[in-house]
Structure formats: C-alpha cells, structure tokens
Amino acid sequence: MIQAVNKRNDSCYVDFVWEKDPHIRGYKMGLENLFSGNYLDVMPVPLGTQTVLLTGCGQERDLTLLEVKELMASVAKTCKARKIKSCSVDLKPFVEKLGADTVTSAVLGLGLGGYEYVYHKTGRVPEEECVFGLEGIQGLEGQLKEAQELLKGIRFARDMVNTPGNHLRPMDFERMIQKYVEDAPIEAEALVYGQLRAMHMEALYGIGGSSEYPPCLLILRYRGNPEDSEVYGLIGKGITCDTGGYCLKSRDSMAGIKGDMGGAAAVTAAIYAAAKMGLKVNITACLPLAENRISQAALLPGDVITGYGGQTIEVLNTDAEGRLVLSDAVSYGIRKEGITKVLDIATLTGAVAQMLGNTIGGAMSDDDAFYGLFERGLSHSGEKYLRIPFGKEHEKMIESDVADVKNVGASFCGTITAGLFIRRFCEGKPWIHLDIAGTAWCGTPTYAFESSGATGAGVTSLYYLMKEAQKN
C-alpha cells in the first residue's frame, strides 16, 4: 500500500545518499567502507529502534524521473526481502526538482519493484505488502490517485500476460477484464462466438474458431464527455495463446506464446484508469479475444475469408493472426460503435523486437495531430516508441492476386506491412498503431522496476494519450 503522510514513520525511513556522501559516515563510523552509495544499492542500517534505508543514488547529479522510479523499486525490493512492514520516503527534494510527475514515478517504482507472479507456486501467497508513506506531496493528492490507478493497471496487465494459457482461455480473460473494470463507470458488452458468426466477423471467428475455447469480442465503453462526438477507439490484441495455427511456430519460438494478449491488457488498464479519473473524453475499447490453434475448423494457408467490413482477405500465414482479429475489431468499432479515431496496440511482429529490442516499441501513424498527442503523453509515461515511416511501396506489398488484401507481405519490413494491413480497415480515420511485441515481455529486466516476464507495456502511454485528448 502507498499513502500520503504528513509525519515520518519513525520505525523505518529512506535516506538518499550520493556516492562518497559524508552523510554515510554521519550514521556510523566506518559505514562508508561498507556502503559506497552506488546507484540502486540499498542498505538497511539499524539505529536503535529505527532502521534507515540508505539508498545509493550514484554520482551527484540531477536525477531523472526514470531514475527516481528505479531507486524506489530498489527500496521496495529491499523492504520485501527484509520483510519490512512500513517505510517512509520523503519525496520533497525530488518534487521540487522534477515536479508533480515525481509522485507517479515514485508510486510506480515502489509498487512494481517487488512485483512477482507467484500464483502457481505452491505455498506462496502474494506477500503482505509493505505500507509506504510518502512525505512532501501535499497538494498532489490527485496525482497520487492517478498514480495508484496506473499502478493497479500495470499489475493487472502483468498478471494477465504472465498467466499460463491453460489458466486464461479467451472467455476467462473476458471474465477477468469484466471483473477488473466492474467498479468504474464503464459499460461492458461481450459478443460471443455464435454472435460473431451471425455477424459475419470471419477474420475473428476464423482464427478463434480454431480452438475449442471459443473467441469473443469484448466492448468497453466510457463516456467522459457525452456532448462531444469524438470517440477514441482503443483496439487491443487479445490472443491468449498463439501456437501459429497450421503455420505452426517452431518449438523454440513457442516461448512466450501465452503473452500474446498484452495489447488487450494495456487497453483495459488504460480505459479503467481514464474512467476512474473521470477524464473528459469518450473511449470505446474493442478487444478481440481468441486462441490460435490447429483443428478441423482452423484456417489454412491459401484460404480466403471476408472480414466484417466486407473486404476479402487471403490468409497466407495463419501465424499472422493478430492483424486478422484486429481488423474485424477495427471495422466493428467504426461501423457499430462510431469510433472516430483508431489506436491499435498489439504484440504483433517478431520483426519489431529484432529491430528495437525490449525497451522501444514500434509506432506508425497517418495523422500528425493525433500522433502529436501521443508523443506529448510519452513525456509523462516515459515509454519509448519509434515512429516508423511508410509509403505506397509498402501498401503494394500486401496486395493479393486473388482477394482484396493478403495477410503477409514479403520476408522484409514485416512490422510495416503488419501495421498497414490494419490501416486498410480504418476507413480514413486518424490512426496510431503500436507494436509492443518486443516490449510487453522481457527475459532479463532492463530496469529495477521490471521483473522477468510481463512488463505492462503500453498502459501508461495509452492513459496519458487519453489525458492529452481531453477537450476543455
């Protein structure tokens, strides 16, 4: 738990020190030989009935928000390891230098540093959490609430992505999402398999029909500004398990196939936080949830299907399933839900991870004003995306000989052709595309606030985009 406090809790508190800080020696003679104040080193020092957590900040300099988040994550890890039950942190010096976003960085660092997915470890329960008391944040209570909603969202996204496929079928995921948004002013509607068939959403049910665990399209609606006709459509890929279908993945590339729903998880967390914070913006989330498997009903390479929007699609690779399910969700959002802007987010291509690794997501957009809002949001979320250019030559790459479009291009620029496939269903609406295949998951954490497995990529950037999109 993380809360604002006016007075230091005396049993345990954090003291930030630089490298070779004379302060270290001030606590105990000789301590400077044991603790040098290296960045992210934390040392508990007992002082009578108190404990001081000396927290190394490295060489003296101006710290960044990212560094504050990492430092707090290190503090949280130490509290967890030492079973410390409560701890105070004075944020005043950081708030003075870095402004209100400090609160968010601190809350996310403290709340994520000790994150572990332990549900399937016998005998382990999520530990009773340390209560962190934040000092020096008077007047920033709104910021604290926002940070807590985001923290909850990132944890939810991580939990969902980390959940093994056999514990999260599409309809399980649907139930988990509905449960998650229950206490927010969000309307939820699930279109189940029979309805998807009746409505001719062949791209979605064509993929999802490959499994005995049926697909669904989950719609979440939040109206924060009913007078406004603008409706932001957030479309998130929710493949709970991606075997590749008949274009079966190799056994080595099956690691992580349970995490192919990071896009849908991020959208859920973002719309929830937006609704809880009462942002003055209208959002409709369309989440295609499905498994991609092999069965009699599964699509075969060469099959031609008709998407909900009426375009025919030649399916040349059943492992390029994300763009298929997303295309129906986009068409449905535009035609039935009246969305006026489209943002899709997906763990879509291995190519983006090859290009940008685990810390930078791929982005595409055909609208500078819309993308401008997204970029302004990034200055708060701290996530990194590279906007990838594209042209007619790339659009050509997905033209089909036998249908209106095909679901794969050539063996190169696979991230671009995947994005452009989805754009074909946007009917000219301003569009942003986020490919988080490299960032939704990490083997070895890059930052102290990550743990191996799901990262919660996209949650904060989507939320801050919605915040920028509010009209006053």
Stretch of residues binding ligand BES (CB under 6 A), selected from 50-58, 161-169, 270-278, 344-352: 344-352
User: Which of the following is catalytic: 28, 80, 145, 249?
Assistant: 249
How many other CB atoms are there within 10 angstroms of residue 33's CB atom? 9
Catalytic member of 77, 323, 423, 429: 323
Q: Is 85 known to be catalytic?
A: no
- Residues in 298-317 that interact with ligand BES by CB under 6 A: 317
**Residue 304: both structure tokens together:** 């031609």
Distance CA 304, CA 2 (A): 53
How far, in whole angstroms, is CA 69 from its chain's centroid? 17
Active site residue 223: no
Of 75-114, binders to ligand BES (CB under 6 A) are none
User: Least separation, in Å, of the C-beta of 244 and Zn ion?
Assistant: 5
Q: Which is nearer to Zn ion, 202 or 260 (CB)?
A: 260
Write down the least CB distance from residue 408 to ligand BES, Å.
4
Task: Assign 266 to helix, strand or coil.
Answer: helix
229 to 268: interface string for Zn ion, x by CB under 5 A = ----------x--x-----------------x--------
| Total binding residues toward ligand BES, as defined by CB under 6 A | 17
Measured CA to CA in angstroms, residue 283 lies from 229, 278, 444 at distances of 11, 12, 34
Which member of 114, 238, 322, 430 binds Zn ion (CB under 5 A)? Answer: 322
Find the binder of ligand BES among 242, 314, 344, 366 (CB under 6 A). Answer: 242
User: CA nearest 160: which of 175, 148, 150?
Assistant: 175
**Shortest distance, CB of residue 255 to ligand BES, whole angstroms?**
9
Residue from 17, 320, 462, 465 touching ligand BES (CB under 6 A): that is 320
Of 159 and 435, nearer to ligand BES (C-beta) is 435
Q: If DSSP codes are grouped into helix, strand and coil, which group holds residue 187?
A: strand
Q: Decide if 362 contacts 434 (C-beta within 8 A).
A: yes
Stretch that binds ligand BES, among 114-122, 134-142, 320-328, 456-464 (CB under 6 A): 320-328
Backbone angles phi, psi at 45, to 5 degrees: -120, 110
Chain centre distance of CA 61: 31
Rounded CA gap, 14 and 260, in Å? 38
Among 226, 209, 231, 359, residue whose Cα is nearest residue 286: 231
Say how many C-beta atoms besides its own lie within 10 A of residue 214's C-beta: 18
CB of 437 to Zn ion, least distance (A): 8
67 binds Zn ion (CB under 5 A): no
For the chain, the helix, strand and coil percentages under 3-state DSSP, each to the nearest 5: 40, 20, 40
- Residue 317, contacted partner among Zn ion, ligand BES, none, CB below 5-8 A by kind: ligand BES
Do the Cβ atoms of 168 and 160 come closer than 8 Å? yes
Catalytic residues, by residue number, are: 249, 323
Q: Interface residues with ligand BES (CB under 6 A)?
A: 242, 256, 260, 317, 319-322, 347-351, 353, 408, 414, 437
- The site for Zn ion (CB under 5 A) is made up of 239, 242, 260, 319, 321-322
